[in-house]
Amino acid sequence: MKLRTILTAAVLAGALVAGGATAQNANSLASGVARTKQGEVKGAVVDGVAVFRGLPYAAAPVGERRWREPGAAPTWQGVRDATKNGGSCAEVEDCLYLNVFTPANATAASKLPVFVFVHGGGFAGGSGGGTDGTKFAKAGVITVAINYRLGRAGWFAHPALTAENPRGLHGNYGNMDQIAALKWVRDNIAGYGGDPAKLTLGGSSAGAISTAYLMLAPQAKGLFSKAISESNFARLEAAPIRAASGDSAEKAGLAWAESLGIKGSGPDAAAGLRKLTLEQLRANAPAAGAGRPRPMADGVMIQATIEEGFRAGKQAAIPYLFGDTDDDSSMFRRGIDAKARVAELSKVPGFQAAYDPQNKGDADLMLAYIMTDDSNREPNRAVARLHAAKAPTYVYHFTYVPKDTRATAIGAGHSAETRYVFAGANPQRPLDAEDLAVSDKINAYFAAFIKTGNPNTAGLQAWPKYDRRTEQRLVVTKTGGLMVTEKMDAARLDFSEAQAIARQRK
């Protein structure tokens, strides 16, 4: 009897210890500690949200690792500090880090949906450190904000580099990084309370383009189940890596290397390129042409433009939410003579009826509309028509302008919606009550989509699926209201489409 009592007590004590350990593990995020396959990390908990910054998801792409596929992430002993952002890829090469925002009460059993966000910046600037996922975390969505190689470090081709890996991936190193980050999330997010089977990939501007390209990339197949593109450019040209005639990324890379005294296409040239400083890589990068650092057609990951890929039906058949703003060309029309451009287009039949039916003659407004339609809105309509035939598609048009600039602004500028998706801080212009109300609506729609593949949520304007018959989209009005339109600005977009077809035929 005494032995049985002792054994029973021991079993109970063991159960209590195990139960205590389980409770401690279940609440580990509340203490700011999480475990990855690389080792333990300690972040910070603020207002019920656990934030882990500067988590390395791949080997540092420096030295011999420059212009190679991402290597395995480092491991460590002990607890790594995760309270500071990793270096920005616009400033340093050791930059392949990500940040995680998750509810502090999340456990491995929570299996929360995950939003992996790819920042914008023209493939040359920006950082995941500028994304605040707090609002999503409070809505039960884990946000992972990533860095990826930028500029020539991220998108560059040269025959010497191709020769090192002729059958593998090369050129689109920034996109390779994005895929590596998705794989890190797949393998590690359970430790932060997430479910890798509920992963949405999204981004703004360059991040929106990257998201759409990864919907097409075989290398990213199965890594995410939903997608979001904010202020996308679905018809952005992808220069070929190599071409027998005409421009190519390799030819541009060869000419640039030779301008720095690096000649040839053998191992010595590759070694010389890797000895260049980041400042040399960043200097004098072209703003146009085959040498501009941005996604290129390598024939393996990227074949052509986003629209062409969707037209061929190669995109993942997953729910897709995307849209644009009414002045999405705001950053790209500087220096263009509006009156001259409008005068030229006025010679084209149908232009006046489409862009100035009331004969106001506002050339600046017409130029803004023309450029936005050509670059964003009409290509987005083409993609919406194509994807809606394959999977649930939700399209928005964002026109909200803060009241202090509402009277003078042409419209919402490029990627303006992204600030309201996250409610991000801006010391120069903090969000006021009206801004926050808009953010609450947009964030609620996006959170619902990330959770279910459908943005509709109680208390908000119903957001119908896009279909070619009605072409319905959700509009965020200039004053922050919500409405649904059918075939919005059809005359303008039809004119833009006709012009695009005419250009392709030349």
What share of the chain in percent tops pLDDT 70?
Answer: 94
> Are both 273 and 328 inside the same structural domain?
no
Task: Report the pLDDT value the prediction gives residue 19, as an integer from 0 to 100.
Answer: 37
Q: Please state the length of the chain.
A: 506
Residues 134, 48: Cα–Cα separation, whole Å? 9
What share of the chain in percent tops pLDDT 90?
Answer: 88
Task: Report the pLDDT value the prediction gives residue 23, as an integer from 0 to 100.
Answer: 41
Residues 305, 407: Cα–Cα separation, whole Å? 37
Q: What number of CA atoms fall less than 13 Å from residue 31's CA on the CB side?
A: 12
Q: Which amino acid is at 329?
A: S
pLDDT of residue 9 exceeding 60: no
Burial class (CB in 10 A: 0-12, 13-18, 19+), 431: middle
Quick: pLDDT tens for 414-432. 999 999 999 976 767 889 9
> Are both 274 and 160 inside the same structural domain?
yes
- What mean pLDDT do residues 225-244 have? 95
> Is position 24 within any domain?
no
Q: Dump the DSSP string for 344-409.
A: HHTTSTTHHHHH-TT----HHHHHHHHHHIIIIIHHHHHHHHHHHTTS-EEEEEE----TTTTTT-
Can you list the alpha helix ranges (DSSP code H) found in 232-362?
249-259, 267-274, 278-282, 306-311, 338-345, 351-355
Residues 65, 75: Cα–Cα separation, whole Å? 17
Residues 336, 338: Cα–Cα separation, whole Å? 6
pLDDT of residue 462 exceeding 50: yes
- Which residues, including other chains, have CB under 8 Å from residue 367's CB and lie 6 or more apart? 333, 336, 338, 341, 342
pLDDT of residue 21 exceeding 70: no
Task: Report the pLDDT value the prediction gives residue 13, as an integer from 0 to 100.
Answer: 38
Task: Report the pLDDT value the prediction gives residue 226, as an integer from 0 to 100.
Answer: 98
> Is position 110 within any domain?
yes
> Is position 428 within any domain?
yes
Tokens for 213?
Answer: 């390209």
Helices (H) and strands (E) in the chain, counts: 17, 14
Place of tokens 């081709």: 157
- What mean pLDDT do residues 93-97 have? 98
> Is position 309 within any domain?
no
Task: Report the pLDDT value the prediction gives residue 357, as an integer from 0 to 100.
Answer: 94
> Is position 449 within any domain?
yes
The 10 Å Cβ neighbour count of residue 237 is 16
Q: What angle do CA 279, 283, 289 make, to 5 degrees?
A: 140
pLDDT of residue 499 exceeding 50: yes
> Is position 307 within any domain?
no
**Banded pLDDT at 27 (limits 50, 70, 90):** low
Residues 425, 72: Cα–Cα separation, whole Å? 34
- What mean pLDDT do residues 381-406 have? 97
> Are both 272 and 372 inside the same structural domain?
no
- What mean pLDDT do residues 11-21 have? 37
Task: Report the pLDDT value the prediction gives residue 455, as an integer from 0 to 100.
Answer: 98
> Are both 264 and 360 inside the same structural domain?
no
Handedness of CA 384, 490, 486, 204 (dihedral sign): positive
Lowest mean pLDDT among 6-10, 210-214, 447-451, 456-460: 6-10
Task: Report the pLDDT value the prediction gives residue 11, as an integer from 0 to 100.
Answer: 39
Residue 369 belongs to domain spanning: 324-505
Task: Report the pLDDT value the prediction gives residue 35, as an integer from 0 to 100.
Answer: 87
- In the chain, the N- to C-terminal Cα span, in Å, equals 97
Task: Report the pLDDT value the prediction gives residue 429, as an integer from 0 to 100.
Answer: 81
> Are both 330 and 226 inside the same structural domain?
no
**Banded pLDDT at 6 (limits 50, 70, 90):** very low
> Are both 91 and 180 inside the same structural domain?
yes
pLDDT of residue 152 exceeding 90: yes
> Is position 9 within any domain?
no
> Are both 261 and 188 inside the same structural domain?
yes
Quick: pLDDT tens for 238-288. 999 999 899 999 999 999 999 999 999 999 999 999 999 999 999 989 988
- What mean pLDDT do residues 209-228 have? 98
Task: Report the pLDDT value the prediction gives residue 28, as an integer from 0 to 100.
Answer: 63
> Is position 332 within any domain?
yes
- What mean pLDDT do residues 352-369 have? 95
As a whole number, the mean pLDDT across the chain is 93
- What mean pLDDT do residues 26-44 have? 88
- Residue ending a domain, among 282, 307, 338, is 282
- Residue ending a domain, among 282, 303, 332, is 282
For the chain, the maximum distance between any two Cα atoms, rounded to a whole number of angstroms, is: 104
Residues 147, 116: Cα–Cα separation, whole Å? 11
> Are both 88 and 184 inside the same structural domain?
yes
- Residue ending a domain, among 282, 309, 342, is 282
> Are both 273 and 340 inside the same structural domain?
no
Task: Report the pLDDT value the prediction gives residue 165, as an integer from 0 to 100.
Answer: 86
**Banded pLDDT at 168 (limits 50, 70, 90):** confident
Q: Is 165 or 488 the better-scoring residue by pLDDT? A: 488
| Of residues 241, 175, 180, the one with CA closest to residue 210 | 175
Tokens for 85?
Answer: 């952002």
> Are both 329 and 276 inside the same structural domain?
no
Please count the structural domains in the chain: 2
> Are both 440 and 382 inside the same structural domain?
yes
Residues 259, 272: Cα–Cα separation, whole Å? 13
Lowest mean pLDDT among 164-168, 267-271, 481-485: 164-168
> Are both 342 and 214 inside the same structural domain?
no
User: What is the CATH classification number for the domain harbouring 158?
Assistant: 3.40.50.1820
151 near 142, Cβ under 8 Å? no
pTM listed for this prediction: 0.93
- Which residues, including other chains, have CB under 8 Å from residue 9's CB and lie 6 or more apart? none
Q: Is 12 or 407 the better-scoring residue by pLDDT? A: 407
Q: Is 2 or 286 the better-scoring residue by pLDDT? A: 286
